[in-house]
Structure 1
Amino acid sequence: MTAPETGVTATGADTGPLRDRVLASLTTARARTTLLTGCVDGPDLTAQHSPLMSPLVWDLAHIGNQEELWLLRGVGGREAMRPGIDSLYDAFEHPRAERPSLPLLAPDEARRYAAEVRGRVLDLLDGTDFHGTRLTEAGFVFGMIAQHEQQHDETMLVTHQLREGPRALTAPDPAPAPLFTGPAEVLVPGGPFTMGTSTEPWALDNERPAHRREVAPFWIDTTPVTNAAYRAFVEDGGYDTERWWTPEGWAHVRRHSLTAPLFWHRDGGQWFRRRFQVTEAVPPDEPVLHVCWYEADAYARWAGRRLPTEPEWEKAARHDPVTGRSRRYPWGDADPAPEHANLGQRHLRPAPAGSHPAGESPLGVRQLIGDVWEWTASDFLPYPGFTAFPYKEYSEVFFGTGHKVLRGGSFAVDPVACRGTFRNWDHPVRRQIFAGFRTARSESV
């Protein structure tokens, strides 16, 4: 099989480029894991900083355990390195709130375990046949593990945002951007487009298969909703006005006394936020962050608009009206580069709205990839013809009305785990994640 989206040949004599890609993806993920677990001391690694999150040391050993299960045992047929720990690091066996009470590996032991697994995996990689099985075809299982580690790295970054105490992480701010003066919204033409993928080698099961979707014409925001725009909703009494909220959302607001995005507080006439242990004025031109689905939906109603559906979001991000084809990314098929999107934890905040003109879609929509995850109106459901692979617990068990789809990635997402077809999902009450949104409206509205 040839993977035209990446330019990597999955079959044939020369698999060097594919091995290089696998190695680079695994190495990048491990460097980030090391940073996130090495910048704090032992007590911060073993503490549970929020009941919504695991202790950082659990994530570290879980990363190693999954790599051992899928690569050393699954591909290499090796014996278990540490019999008996699988259940400790099974995400479905122990809820996050229970994990601090488990007999987890201590920080130094968890580091040694993850490092030993990785050393053996690199030996295994040298001799892996990328043509033998569906699991190894095009290096899929290695790509799955690289994506898994990066997803946990993002989770650990969320834990760092929730953590109290001195600042442990720093990064340069995104480059200043000129004030965006383009149109506030663009029209996405109606008609069919190809949603999902059947050819992206490392796409996960919920992104498959490619299929045709019919979408009516609609308008969508050119940029994500900004802090300044969201502040207008707050100051107009948005959190005190029931008519903007779904019944479930209103009950959630009342139950938890929500008044603004998570980490915001007001001092006198100014709004401030806490970002990685630093308190700063809320920057008006950044995309709003740390809002749940209910808050995004209520803002959209207040603004006389709505959240885009998942098919609408993907069409805005991928559809090229000139050629009729669906691109890998808004800017084309090339892998993300810094000029395209704010990804990979290069920064610890979104870039100003309107940044990255090189990354805009053919229709002129910006920042569809990176900066903030974007809530959509859609429940997380399988595509027509979906088949769970390689295990149903990745996607299938989450399908239904209990989870809403997020798209596009955030500054905390690595490019290996972000593409135009990538689907994220979470409960509509989640606020600690790096999520914002943009709005849409039907053409007739």
Structure 2
Amino acid sequence: MKDARAETLRLFDLVREIDLRESPGFGFRPVIWHLAHIGVFEGYWILQKLFGENPLDERYDRIFDPINTPREDSKNLPSRREMENYLTRVREKIFRYLDESDFGGENPLMRDGFIFRMVLEHEYQHQETLAYLLHMLSPEKKIRPQARSPLNILSTLARDMVIVPAGQFEMGAREDSFVYDNEQPRHAVELPAFKIDRLLTTNEEYARFVDEGGYERREFWSDEGWQWRVKENWTCPLYWKRYGKSWRAQTMFDEGELDSQHPVTGVSFHESEAYAHFMNKRLPTEEEWERAASWDFRSETKHRFAWGDTEPNSLLCNFNFNFWGTTPVGSFPAGASAAGCLDMTGNVWEWTSTPFAGYKGFKAFPYPEYSEVWFDGDHRVLRGGSWATRAPLLRTTFRNFFRRQFRIAFAGIRCASDA
């Protein structure tokens, strides 16, 4: 928890406080709002719900409650120093309780440290959300941190589809480790054979869709997707700009020529679906994605990560802000799944065609606002993680979800088709 907090504060150090107090776009809270919200969430669940304490500051509980406080009421916020003082007070009380806690009792919030894992992963998720918001700010407002050296493009990789054989596999997570309610219960799924792209869709491939009129050709788009395209005047992915006959793109810390072999990102579900239709393919279902990512066909067992059960490292995938951006597709051959797909862990999230909903037997725990309230038919499931995802959230059962028109996530495309 201490390491996660240090990582959070380092993200805020990339931008001056005056810029952190800006809303990066219409409908978004100021970036700095997320700093205190992380502490309020911790304090509510651990100090109030678990140990029966009163709120440390009722004003914070009100201002930094994302459910009951409208975004337009998030303007007159405390200073960063005041927020950090609040975070310190919350943590001091939590650590006192942590030293005396019994993780083997009957309270489901305490069992195996569930509540502490939950607030830790909540902070990890907000770190990635912060990265989305920081990306929206112009590059000159940010300080570039140290990152690993860029990787060489593996140009010899086959840009083909792999055939995933028909069969049954176990979908979802077991109950013997921390997971969210929407990852359970584990259940058997029978699938026919299907094909799925070995590699993520690259900027070069997506640019062909754009250059051949993909955004103007109604036949590739669903009715709702076309309505959004027209309403928002989408003509290319978010952060792309055309200069003459070439494309440039804004990355986290600069703007430059489009990296042709990096995965396309800044695309909504609607754009991803239209591209798949352009390619005479489709987006994979969530079930297809998880089978291709997690299932070992020889041993008939499920893996926690695409390559197996070894914890993620910099030789296996692009994660944990290691490169502060995407890497060329296929740069981590050691991280291939048993099906032969690359980059199924990290780099960019992958849109699936599946609406976000509970598995059969779903039970909301510990609160419906994490999952259940979003079972609305409007959200689609994304899988795999991105370059800004922390290691625990890279598990092959983790289900991310966004509205179909959402574009600011580090999300890309892997197409599928019937076998």
The TM-score with structure 1 as length reference comes to 0.90
2:92 counterpart residue number: 119
Matched position secondary structure for 1:239: coil
Question: Counterpart of 1:162 in structure 2: which amino acid?
Answer: M
Identical columns (%): 37
Question: Counterpart of 1:382 in structure 2: which amino acid?
Answer: G
2:191 counterpart residue number: 215
1:229 counterpart residue number: 205
1:46 counterpart residue number: 21
Cα deviation 1:216-271 (Å, max 9, x = unaligned):
11000011100011011111110110000001111111112111100001101210
Moved more, 69-78 or 149-158: 69-78
Contact 1:380/1:403 (<8 A) preserved: yes
Q: How is 1:254-265 mapped onto 2 (pairs within 5 angstroms)?
A: 254-265=230-241
| Residue 91, structure 1, aligned to residue 46, structure 2 | no
Query: Number of paired residues?
Result: 416
- d(CA) in 2 for partners of 1:200 and 1:36? 32
Cα deviation 1:330-365 (Å, max 9, x = unaligned):
111122121111111112211111111111111211
Question: Counterpart of 1:121 in structure 2: which amino acid?
Answer: I
| Residue 401, structure 1, aligned to residue 374, structure 2 | no
Contact 1:341/1:356 (<8 A) preserved: yes
Moved more, 340-349 or 116-125: 116-125
- d(CA) in 1 for partners of 2:326 and 2:171? 27
1:150 counterpart residue number: 124
The one of 207, 219, 231 equivalent to 1:243 is 219
CA distance change for structure 1 residues 180 and 390 in 2, over 3 Å: closer, same or farther? farther
Q: How is 1:31-70 mapped onto 2 (pairs within 5 angstroms)?
A: 31-70=6-45
Measured after TM superposition, the shift of residue 176 of structure 1 is 1.9
| Residue 110, structure 1, aligned to residue 83, structure 2 | yes
Matched position secondary structure for 1:243: helix
| Residue 387, structure 1, aligned to residue 363, structure 2 | yes
1:23 counterpart residue number: none
2:74 counterpart residue number: 100
The one of 308, 329, 332 equivalent to 2:308 is 332
The TM-score with structure 2 as length reference comes to 0.96
- d(CA) in 2 for partners of 1:39 and 1:310? 35
Measured after TM superposition, the shift of residue 39 of structure 1 is 2.4
Contact 2:19/2:141 (<8 A) preserved: no
The unaligned stretches of length 5 or more in structure 2 are none
Question: Counterpart of 1:27 in structure 2: which amino acid?
Answer: K
- d(CA) in 2 for partners of 1:403 and 1:153? 21
Q: How is 1:415-430 mapped onto 2 (pairs within 5 angstroms)?
A: 415-430=391-406
Q: How is 1:153-302 mapped onto 2 (pairs within 5 angstroms)?
A: 153-164=127-138, 165-170=140-145, 171-182=147-158, 184-302=160-278
Matched position secondary structure for 2:381: strand
Question: Counterpart of 2:66 in structure 1: which amino acid?
Answer: A
Measured after TM superposition, the shift of residue 281 of structure 1 is 0.6
Matched position secondary structure for 1:271: strand
Contact 1:186/1:222 (<8 A) preserved: yes
Contact 2:55/2:61 (<8 A) preserved: no
Q: CA RMSD in A?
A: 1.4
Contact 1:173/1:347 (<8 A) preserved: yes
Measured after TM superposition, the shift of residue 35 of structure 1 is 0.9
Measured after TM superposition, the shift of residue 137 of structure 1 is 1.4
CA distance change for structure 1 residues 173 and 231 in 2, over 3 Å: closer, same or farther? farther
Cα deviation 1:138-162 (Å, max 9, x = unaligned):
2111111111011111111111111
Matched position secondary structure for 1:56: coil
Cα deviation 1:113-155 (Å, max 9, x = unaligned):
1122123222322221111121111211111111101111111
Moved more, 313-322 or 44-53: 44-53
Matched position secondary structure for 1:334: coil
- d(CA) in 2 for partners of 1:192 and 1:183? 27
Cα deviation 1:293-341 (Å, max 9, x = unaligned):
0110000000010000000000001111111111111111122121111
CA distance change for structure 1 residues 95 and 346 in 2, over 3 Å: closer, same or farther? farther
Measured after TM superposition, the shift of residue 173 of structure 1 is 4.6
Matched position secondary structure for 2:401: strand
Measured after TM superposition, the shift of residue 183 of structure 1 is 5.2
Matched position secondary structure for 1:400: coil
